Amino acid sequence: MSVITAFETHDIRFPTSLQLDGSDAMNLDPDYSAAYLTLRTNDPTGLAGHGFVFTIGRGNDVQTRACAAVGHLVVGRSVDEVLGDLGAFARSLTADSQLRWLGPEKGVMHMAIGAVINAAWDMAARRAGKPVWRLIADMSPREIVALLDFRYISDALTPGEALSLLDAAAHGKEERLRTLLSQGYPAYTTSPGWLGYSDEKLVRLAREAVAQGFRTVKLKVGLNVDDDIRRCGLARDAIGPDVGLAVDANQRWDVAEAISFLTRLARFNIAWAEEPTSPDDILGHAAIRAAVAPLPISTGEHTHNRVMFKQLFQARAVDLVQIDAARVGGVNENLAILLMAAKFNIRVFPHAGGVGLCELVQHLAMADFVAISGKKNDRAIEFVDHLHEHFIDPVRISQGAYLAPLAPGFSAEIHPDSLDRYRFPEGAVWRELSDANADQASVL
């Protein structure tokens, strides 16, 4: 019998703050990072599973330590038992009563648990010889329902309702599978829109994005509304009237500010306004949405669990949502969120970028298209062209679409060489930066 024999963690950081890649109104100088983990087994095939939490620098050590704190719930367990019932496995992690106190189901501890659950999915998909999206798409409705934790969401989605949704989606599944394999899944891009970029760079990258086939471009806003208006105008001119223009305030505003500023941005025909205020403020989003309608409102990349998504839907607080593959409790909780979104008829535009978020979340969006919502042409996955070179199975983009990954697993594995070089603080990249800083200091 194969068992999980080891639980390895790695504090990996990329010095992205040097270029202001990823700069927005709330996150001015991120060093994109990953609290990365690998589950090892004694399986003779060398079976393993990889997962991670994305962070933006300081505190990645805390996140890595939180991942390690889940190890005792995993090491020594039978591979068959874990992979044979991923629903029970996920619930066993979120139910640890002592760790639960540290959330519950939110923040550092919940993200750590999510990364471990995702690593188990990576392992399950590798063993099945399929990409994760296909592993889910090939499951029966009943198998998918068994993956979910309905605790705290049964007033919005019962197991019976979930089963009905999945049964209905079973029609046309084969055709959607063929469509996905031939067309891919729509992408939109945030690459032109970082706040740290000059107007010239914004315009150049926006034009390039359209030329590359992207149908929606997103700009970061929220530091200064006059700058936002100028940048939206430049972007709209660059992309023309037919390409979508979304804006993302990264939680910068209070409710009244959001209403005031979005009213001024509405003239640019905004596809959606993302994270106008605190991700915790369900009623605030509902108030903003009511005040600026029909401008679509969204949030979700920081929405910490299914209970919060449930309320966003119940309160009609959003027109669409982002999901994030590494913020909530792994694939299982994201499936619950996708099923609720399908029930409430809310479009999903997955959050990506960072370190490996594109690689992970494409699987969830594609599984949703084939097996859950059945839709992809009214939605898109975020794409940012950063750091993909560190992944063994990086995303493939063609004509503004994500091509379906075909390799077994969750596309989560980072090259061992990158793990070595970017390990913080002792990897070669950080040692060199530290030496360079020391040299500069001695010159000054």
Chain positions contacting its own copies, by CB under 8 A: 26-31, 55-59, 61-63, 65-66, 69, 72, 96-111, 150-152, 154-155, 251, 254-256, 277-284, 287, 302, 304-305, 307-308, 310-311, 314-315
Residue 11's H or E segment, with its range, is: strand 4-13
For residues 302 and 275, the answer to whether their CB atoms sit within 8 Å is: yes
Count Cβ atoms within 10 A of the Cβ of residue 77 and give its class: 0-12 exposed, 13-18 middle, 19 or more buried: middle
Residue with structure tokens 């639980």? 7
Shortest Cβ distance from residue 221 to its own copies (Å)?
A: 16
For residues 385 and 110, the answer to whether their CB atoms sit within 8 Å is: no
Per the residue annotation, which of 50, 220, 310, 388 is the catalytic one?
Answer: 220
- What does each C-alpha distance from 9 to 38, 61, 221, 388 come to in angstroms? 7, 10, 35, 20
**Pair of tokens at residue 209:** 């994005």
Complex with its own copies: residue 306 or 376, whichever CB lies closer: 306
Residue 348's H or E segment, with its range, is: strand 347-348
Count Cβ atoms within 10 A of the Cβ of residue 171 and give its class: 0-12 exposed, 13-18 middle, 19 or more buried: exposed
Shortest Cβ distance from residue 55 to its own copies (Å)?
A: 6
Helical packing angle, 306-314 and 330-344, nearest 10°: 10
Whether omega before 279 lies within 30 degrees of 0, making that bond cis, reads no
Any catalytic annotation for residue 220? Answer: yes
Complex with its own copies: residue 57 or 213, whichever CB lies closer: 57
Complex with its own copies: residue 100 or 204, whichever CB lies closer: 100
CA distance 131 to 121: 10
Shortest Cβ distance from residue 377 to its own copies (Å)?
A: 32
Per the residue annotation, which of 218, 304, 310, 351 is the catalytic one?
Answer: 351
Shortest Cβ distance from residue 180 to its own copies (Å)?
A: 32
- What does each C-alpha distance from 322 to 87, 122, 346 come to in angstroms? 23, 22, 10
Complex with its own copies: residue 239 or 357, whichever CB lies closer: 357
Shortest Cβ distance from residue 30 to its own copies (Å)?
A: 7
Shortest Cβ distance from residue 256 to its own copies (Å)?
A: 6
Residue type, 60: N
Complex with its own copies: residue 18 or 170, whichever CB lies closer: 18
Which residues contact residue 12 at a Cβ distance below 8 angstroms, ignoring those fewer than 6 apart?
33, 34, 35, 36, 52, 60, 355, 414, 418, 419, 422, 423, 424, 427
* Number of Cβ within a 10 Å radius of residue 356: 29
**Pair of tokens at residue 425:** 């603080």
Shortest Cβ distance from residue 263 to its own copies (Å)?
A: 16
Complex with its own copies: residue 295 or 328, whichever CB lies closer: 328
Shortest Cβ distance from residue 362 to its own copies (Å)?
A: 22
Complex with its own copies: residue 69 or 295, whichever CB lies closer: 69
Complex with its own copies: residue 86 or 112, whichever CB lies closer: 112
Per-residue b or e along 315-341, where b marks 16 or more CB atoms closer than 10 Å to that residue's CB: eebbbbbbbbbbbbbbbbbbbbbbbbb
The DSSP secondary-structure symbol of 251 reads T
* Number of Cβ within a 10 Å radius of residue 86: 21
CA distance 353 to 22: 9
Catalytically annotated residues: 220, 351
